[in-house]
Amino acid sequence: MSHFTSDTDRIFCLKDLPEVTKGALFARYSRSSMGLRELYEKEFRGEDAAAEGFYERVLDGFGDDSVAELGNAHLALENISILATKVIEDGRIGASYLEKSTRYVDFGEKENGHYRYYVPHLIQDSSMHYDYVDACDLLFETYVDLLPKVKTLLTEQAPDSGNGLDAKGIQARAIKAKAFDLCRGLLPASTLTNMGINGNGRYYEAFLIKMMQHSMMEMQKIGWESRVALAEVIPSFIRKANHNNKHYTSLESHKFHMDVVIASITPSKLEQLPQRVKLLNFDSNAVEKILTALVYECSDVSWEEARRQIRRLPEKEIPFIFEQLVGSRTDRRHRLPRAFEHSDYQFEFVADFGIYRDLHRHRLITMQRQQLGCSLGFVIPPEFDDWVFIKEEYSGAINQVGEVWHRLINEVGPTEAQYVVPLASNIRWSMRGNLREWLWISELRAQPAGHPNYRKIAQEVRNLICKIHPSLEPIFALVDMNDYSLGRLEAETKRSKKENERDQAAKPI
């Protein structure tokens, strides 16, 4: 059986080979005069390749960590807390993540008579165990109770969709998604969820070390269990993720030292900023940098000469230049040139943890968050203002849990106390990135189908950038600045149309 999509073409793919084999084969490929197919036949096919230590000998000959990027693995993690997923997804390079969505999946189902949430060992062994369980149960019970009520109220408020089955189905799906959006804030950070990772060996080695050395027991267990699974498919790429490895022990010591230093300079009380979105830092000469980079890339002049030319431009012409640059841009997927990466903006956000989780996915951004807690208050969906009994039940449950959180801090500390905090609770975090990435975030997150809370954040980011750099306003033309009562309706309509077209195409002629 051939392990290549073609035995003759100059461009081909590998198939039906273990990940470690593919990684080692590509590593040798870079230092061989042979083609890949010939190299495989001469060095990788046969008994030698099956011998223990073969791949280690091949990879050790390179002494380059990047070789571990040549093999991939799909890792499934089930029944881990929502809090754990954020620790995992802090890893930015070398992996792609998918997580069970709180916006589209009902989390209210029980397993063996219990709601599905994580109970940390530290809390389980403390006097707060039953208070913690009662608090989590209260949040889930409220979630289960309010979800059908909210769906009913949304249905009553929705405009008449007509008599067509398609229209009714589309509206029902949009209402269901909206109800999940409104009620998901009740879910605690301890909620058990599933996620998948597709990453390369270099990523997994760093991931394992980070998790195995983490201060929280759940993260450590996830790290060790993941190591067992990954050792079955990419053992040669995760060798450093081992207590006996010198890199592992030296990093562990370094991390402990850093934690001590940081703790010594951390204030005991942090200022609470009321702003939802605050612009902290920006390049005052952003426009000049961007235009200089554009000229530099499209000419043969030096950077200094390009900058001199830009400085000669009349100020009033600059907005017109940006209008011309984006005049033919009709889709957010039409990415702007990399020249727009020469300007940085740093924002600070205070928003509910559910929104943080959505924005956390933008991994080109430098992001730092504070610990999750109840001290910054929580968000009540504005839709609940019209439904007083819903609002009272929602806020009543979260307020009760806030009291438990305060007691947990005294008993087990703020780190473990994070598990009881509802997703509706506010968290403060910072994001720093270039203009090209902020444009992508603003356009993507302001779409009608987006959650209302992160739509507002995306719109505020756009407004703040345009306020300090008005000449950049034309590039934000595709940011949707409207409000929508049933944002998923358009997305569900498009989905239904695609399904109908696919069904029609599948019918025999």
DSSP 452-501: HHHHHHHHHHHHHHHHH-GGGGGGGTTS-----SSTHHHHHHHHHHHHHH
- Inform me whether the pLDDT recorded for 186 exceeds 80: yes
What was the pLDDT predicted at 248? 54
For all residues of the chain together, what is the average pLDDT?
A: 88
* Dihedral angle over CA of 183, 185, 187, 192, nearest 10: 100
**Token digits for 348?**
């600070």
Among residues 364, 370, 354, the alpha carbon closest in space to that of 438 is found at: 364
219, part of any domain: yes
What was the pLDDT predicted at 57? 72
pLDDT band for position 195 (50/70/90)? Answer: very high
Torsion sign over Cα 410, 413, 416, 418: positive
What was the pLDDT predicted at 363? 85
Contacts within 8 Å (CB) and 24+ apart, 206-215: 206/91, 206/94, 207/88, 207/91, 207/95, 208/238, 208/241, 209/240, 209/241, 209/248, 209/251, 210/87, 210/91, 211/87, 211/88, 212/241, 212/248, 213/248, 213/251, 213/252, 213/255, 214/87, 215/415
Query: Which is more confidently placed, 163 or 89?
Result: 89
DSSP string, 115-178: E-B---HHHHTSTTHHHHHHHHHHHHHHHHHHHHHHHHHHHHHSPP--S-HHHHHHHHHHHHHH
- Most confident option among 212-216, 415-419, 484-488: 415-419
pLDDT (average), residues 468-495: 79
pLDDT (average), residues 89-112: 93
Residues 6+ apart with CB under 8 A from 351: 276, 379, 426, 427, 453, 454, 457
Is residue 419 within 8 Å of residue 456, measured between CB atoms?
Answer: no
Residues 128 and 244 in one domain: yes
pLDDT 10s digits, 334-383: 999 999 999 999 999 999 999 999 999 898 899 999 999 999 999 999 99
What was the pLDDT predicted at 236? 82
Residues 99 and 199 in one domain: yes
What was the pLDDT predicted at 268? 47
What was the pLDDT predicted at 70? 85
CATH number of 249's domain: 3.30.70.3180
pLDDT (average), residues 483-504: 58
**b/e code 178-193 from CB counts within 10 Å (16+ = b):** bbbbbbbbbbbbbbbb
Query: Which is more confidently placed, 143 or 241?
Result: 143
What was the pLDDT predicted at 281? 97
Residue length of the chain = 509
Residues 445 and 463 in one domain: yes
What was the pLDDT predicted at 346? 98
pLDDT band for position 92 (50/70/90)? Answer: confident
295, part of any domain: yes
How far apart (Å, rounded) are the C-alpha atoms in residues 87 and 423?
15
395, part of any domain: yes
Residues 6+ apart with CB under 8 A from 63: none
pLDDT 10s digits, 206-257: 999 999 999 999 999 999 999 999 999 988 888 888 766 555 565 555 555 5
What was the pLDDT predicted at 272? 44
- Most confident option among 52-61, 100-109, 265-274, 494-503: 100-109
Residues 387 and 363 in one domain: no
Residues 6+ apart with CB under 8 A from 454: 351, 355, 358, 359, 445
Residues 329 and 399 in one domain: no
- Inform me whether the pLDDT recorded for 445 exceeds 90: yes
231, part of any domain: yes
- Inform me whether the pLDDT recorded for 509 exceeds 60: no
Range of the domain at 285: 277-370+427-478
- What's the distance, CA 22 to chain centroid? 29
Specify the residue for token string 């595709």: 478
- Inform me whether the pLDDT recorded for 130 exceeds 90: yes
Residues 108 and 130 in one domain: yes
114 three-class SS: strand
DSSP category for residue 335: P
pLDDT (average), residues 74-94: 96
pLDDT band for position 131 (50/70/90)? Answer: very high
Residues 408 and 448 in one domain: no
Element (H, E) at 428: strand 426-434
32, part of any domain: yes
Residues 154 and 258 in one domain: yes
Residues 420 and 432 in one domain: no
Residues 283 and 265 in one domain: no
Is residue 279 within 8 Å of residue 464, measured between CB atoms?
Answer: yes
Residues 283 and 238 in one domain: no
> Angle formed by the axes of helices 165-183 and 129-157, to 10°?
150
163, part of any domain: yes
285, part of any domain: yes
Is residue 56 within 8 Å of residue 67, measured between CB atoms?
Answer: no
How far apart (Å, rounded) are the C-alpha atoms in residues 76 and 197?
6
CATH number of 464's domain: 3.30.1360.170
pLDDT 10s digits, 3-62: 999 999 999 999 998 888 888 888 888 889 999 999 999 988 875 555 556 667 766 666
199, part of any domain: yes
Residues 191 and 256 in one domain: yes
What total number of domains does the chain contain? 3
What was the pLDDT predicted at 96? 95
